[in-house]
Amino acid sequence: MYCMNCGKELPDGAKFCSECGAQLGVLPTKADAEPEMVIRKGSCNIKKNMFYTENGHATLTNKRFIFSKHSLTKIAMTGVLSALSDDDCEFSIPLSDIADVSETRLGMGVLLTTRDGKEYKLGLWDLEAWLEDLHKYVK
Ligand SMILES: [Zn+2]
């Protein structure tokens, strides 16, 4: 961790900065400090309405669920999403915005429901593994 006043590197959990003496009361939470890591990615079909399905790629990170039209190859190299811009994503949902994860009625995909009531129907390969990870990371 670093002092928020002078920027000196300090041991984790320090209460005061040894350099400038600032009190380090408000620490960033662990989740904020964690880099964005890819948990799982794979091919994904998204059902946009009754008749229209779009093919793309799904990426689950420890922070968001992303649907993109291309393969996001640049993140495949490192597993870290820091270089990803919004233009790369068809949509990107922060995990904290997801209210519910369930299987679709036919058991062929995943239904994500956001807190503002939007629904995303996703067709995913290796559905069991996706559901397991989604349930683990979406709280
Ligand atoms: Zn300091």
- The pLDDT tens digits for 64-104 are 998 987 666 555 455 555 555 556 678 889 999 999 999 98
β-pairing verdict for 91-94 and 98-103: unpaired
Helix (H, G, I), strand (E, B) or coil at 90: coil
Backbone angles phi, psi at 104, to 5 degrees: -70, 165
Record the pTM: 0.67
pLDDT for 116: 95
Measured in angstroms, how far is the CA atom of residue 16 from the centroid of ligand 1? 8
Measured in angstroms, how far is the CA atom of residue 7 from the centroid of ligand 1? 6
60 close to 92: Cβ distance less than 8 angstroms: no
Measured in angstroms, how far is the CA atom of residue 15 from the centroid of ligand 1? 11
Residue 2: other Cβ atoms inside 10 A: 13
Beta pairing partners, 9: 2
Distances (CA, A) of 26 to 1, 13, 29, 54: 12, 11, 9, 44
Distances (CA, A) of 12 to 15, 16, 27, 62: 9, 11, 10, 22
pLDDT for 5: 83
User: What is the C-alpha to C-alpha distance for residues 78 and 72, in angstroms, rounded to an integer?
Assistant: 11
Q: With a cut of 70, which residues of the chain have pLDDT below it?
A: 25-33, 70-88
Measured in angstroms, how far is the CA atom of residue 33 from the centroid of ligand 1? 19
Residue type, 18: S
